[in-house]
Copies of this chain bind each other. A is one copy, B any other.
Amino acid sequence: MAGLQDIGLSATINLLSAIAFLVAFAILRLQPINDRVYFPKWYLKGIRGSPTHSGALVSKFVNLDARTYIKFLNWMPAALRMPEPELSDHAGLDSAVYIRIYLLGLKIFVPITLLAFSILVPVNWTGDTLEHVKDLVFSDIDKLSISNIPSGSKRFWAHVVMAYVFTGWTWYALYKEYKTIATMRLQFLASANRRPDQFTVLVRNVPPDPDESVSEHVEHFFCVNHPDHYLMHQVVCNANNLAKLVAKKKSLQNWLTYYHNKNERNPSTKSTTKTGFCGLWGTRVDAVDYYTSEIEKLSKEEEAERVRVLSDPKAIVPAAFVSFKSRWGAALCAQTQQSSNPTIWLTEWAPEPRDIYWNNLSIPYVELTIRRLLMAIGLFFLTFCFMIPIAFVQSLANIEGIEKVLPFLKPIIETKFMKSLIQGFLPGIALKIFLILLPTILMTMSTVEGFTSLSSLERRSAGKYHLFILVNVFLGSIITGTALQQLKSFLNKPPTEIPRIVGESIPMKATFFITYIMVDGWAGIAAEILRLVPLVMFHLKNTFLVKTDQDRDDAMDPGSLGFATSEPRIQFYFLLGFVYAVVTPILLPFIIVFFAFAYLVFRHQIINVYDQKYESGASFWPDVHRRLIIGLVISQLLLLGLLSTKKAEDSTPFLVALPILTIWFHRFCKGRFESAFVKFPLQDAMVKDTLERATEPNLNLRLYLQDAYIHPVFKGGELDRPRVIDEEENSPLVPTKRTSNKGSSRYGSDVSSEAGFQTNI
């Protein structure tokens, strides 16, 4: 068991690596050449431009102003300076609420840590059990934990009472946070500018009609059943094939540009390529000519497909976006059942145009339920049996296996260095590759389940990932053996025994988790801010592909928060905090450092870097809240299990009420707030309608909505940022207090004056 010294050493190493990352970041971000990697958001907003002033060539790429290097940690206060309302304007409500999760971690755990250190640590320290047991190896950390209390001691009352106090405080913090975020969401919806999704409802499972096309059928149905509110509709085309062609053409165009650039630099030698797969074999031809002709061919194909999709009735999917004359009409249609058969004419609030996942709009009801069943079974096996295929791959990927399949490699493999490399790394690599692929696998499973918006896909994937982490990281670290073995042993043990077994080994794993927090939490977050992969990718693209400013904009990869993978990871830290708050309070400060540091880093990132693909108005919060409650209940059950092994019969039964009350609290909050994230109240819709009618009596809504819900391939290739967003920014319903440019530059200027290149050049 690691003692305080070992922990201290590990902390030093991780702190040093974190600081190394931060220093690297501080230097790299000041170089103008990296500006688009570390401040892409400002470019996308159109506030920051490439340095165009003439000057020393070198200062265009390297920052020579020594003064700026001195204040290399200046980004930290800068990141904190933007107030929250501006932040949610600037980065979107999703991002602003997302970083509040870290803040919530601080709000919950700072008071808990103070209390635990002032009450539980002294109680544990003076427990004196471990010192009297002779042969036991123990460390200073264990002396601070509940292990130091003798069995059957009255001191456990302190832990029981503190469990109640911590739970109560967590409830309070969670309730307040849920309330705040519900208010923020409602304000966001109320103050939002006019957006197409406010007026539009997604109608799925339009029943087939022998006499009418889908479009006519939709129009007739809504004209009859919503006579006063129906405005227009937009059918959905199955343009998946077309989208593929467009993507392929874009990739070919990239190659064409690459060879153009190459030729320009070396006008003497004409570049050539081969016609086969990836240019690896086939006849050698002139590259520029080849790609030009290929693109021409593809353009024709694309045109034909485009015509086919637009004219062929079979390309029309039985789904439509139906728009109404008022938000009120849309709100009521989205919330009501249209037909007596609840599997046809399904209406739901339309996602934002850029949030739609187009491929999933036309899945019939029966298929959908079968898909969900299969994916549920798949998730079960993925969670509990994922080690089986990996072990299989690992058993193949040993030296004998490779020598058998590829005998010509034998001489190379047999060298000592390669042998140890293969034996040491290959098994680990198989697991690592799986873990890297896991989010993609989960996302694919969610798409198969048939959700219609990117935001719901991410939410579902996050749920799956959370389960995976809970079983394989949390339980897997506490109890040795694979998840499948655990499941088997759990099924063969009484239900009251499980919390006992897990709870008993909880205190012993504290040091392991402290190390985990430092490696994954501290150093991992510091690596996040450095953005190594986008940095390399950008410079590669910049060198080979970029010709115009537009190309350079395209070469930027601002990335996004990645809710599906990062939120379950935060939940894991919450879980650790809840579990160890009573058991081993010494773990808490490490978690607090993680939350504080991550809050800082991600606040910086969402201000300067990330560009969210969609805006869901914080609709993920009910999921976050639910998972926090799950963590809380798990921690309570484990504490119950732990104390039941300590013979504290008089105090333990008082803990039984905790999980019950927590689940009740969850139901209470759910009833109180959840509908704010699911439904749109009619009152609010009416207020906005009335206001709009008063301010813009002559608004032509039909024109405004005409192209809003067209498949992105029909919008001239602007796949990522459809026109709607610009419209929205250019014509706000109510003028905002500040214009977008002025206000943003207030914060932008902090950054740029720091970077110092605009004044220098």
Contacts and interface: CB of A to CB of B under 8 A. Distances in A.
Nearest to A673: B342
Contacts of A664: 369, 373
Interface in A671-724: 671-676, 679-684, 686
Contact of A225 (B228, B667, B672, B682): B682
A335 B338 contact: no
A587 to B, nearest CB: 30
Given A225-B686, A373-B664, A672 B340 contact: no
Nearest to A373: B664
Interface in A488-526: 490-497
A332 interface: yes
A340 B688 CA distance: 13
A667 B495 contact: no
A683 B340 contact: yes
Contacts of A672: 342-343, 365
Interface string A652-680: 00000000100010011001111110011
A731 interface: no
Contacts of A686: 224-225
A680 B342 CA distance: 10
A187 to B, nearest CB: 10
A335 B681 CA distance: 11
A348 to B, nearest CB: 13
A336 B660 contact: no
Nearest to A226: B682
A676 B339 CA distance: 9
Contacts of A674: 342
A186 interface: yes
A652 to B, nearest CB: 14
A339 B681 contact: yes
A492 B226 CA distance: 59
A681 B337 contact: yes
A331 interface: yes
Contacts of A682: 225-226, 336-338
A684 B335 contact: no
A725 to B, nearest CB: 26
A492 B498 CA distance: 10
A473 interface: no
Interface in A320-364: 331-332, 335-340, 342-343, 345
A671 B343 contact: yes
A377 interface: yes
A667 B335 CA distance: 21
A445 B340 CA distance: 34
Contacts of A496: 491-492
A336 B377 CA distance: 34
A490 B684 CA distance: 51
Interface string A548-563: 0000000000000000
A340 B221 CA distance: 30
Given A494-B491, A495-B491, A664-B373, A336 B339 contact: no
Contacts of A680: 337
B335 A336 contact: yes
Contacts of A365: 671-672
A684 B186 CA distance: 33
Nearest to A667: B369
Given A331-B336, A339-B681, A668 B369 contact: yes
A679 to B, nearest CB: 4
A186 B340 CA distance: 7
B494 A340 contact: no
A160 to B, nearest CB: 20
Given A365-B671, A369-B664, A369-B668, A336 B492 contact: no
Nearest to A664: B373
Nearest to A183: B340
A296 B356 CA distance: 73
A671 B342 contact: yes
A345 B225 CA distance: 25
Contacts of A221: 683
Given A332-B332, A337-B335, A675 B492 contact: no
Contact of A335 (B335, B491, B494, B660): B335
Interface string A222-266: 001110100000000000000000000000000000000000000
Nearest to A369: B668
A336 B336 contact: yes
A645 to B, nearest CB: 14
A338 B683 contact: yes
Contacts of A493: 494
Given A369-B664, A369-B668, A660-B377, A683 B225 contact: yes
A673 B337 CA distance: 12
Given A369-B671, A491-B495, A668-B369, A332 B340 contact: no
Nearest to A684: B340
A271 to B, nearest CB: 58
A522 B343 CA distance: 42
A628 B228 CA distance: 44
A676 B668 CA distance: 27
Contacts of A684: 340
Given A496-B492, A671-B342, A337 B679 contact: yes
Interface string A450-487: 00000000000000000000000000000000000000
Nearest to A368: B671
Interface of A: 186, 221, 224-226, 228, 331-332, 335-340, 342-343, 345, 365-366, 369, 373, 377, 490-497, 660, 664, 667-668, 671-676, 679-684, 686
8 closest A-B pairs by CB: A342-B675, A337-B679, A335-B336, A492-B494, A332-B332, A373-B664, A491-B496, A340-B681
10 contacts: A224-B683, A335-B335, A336-B679, A337-B675, A338-B683, A342-B681, A343-B671, A369-B664, A491-B496, A492-B494
Given A224-B683, A339-B681, A495-B495, 7 more contacts: A225-B683, A228-B228, A336-B681, A337-B680, A338-B682, A342-B676, A491-B494
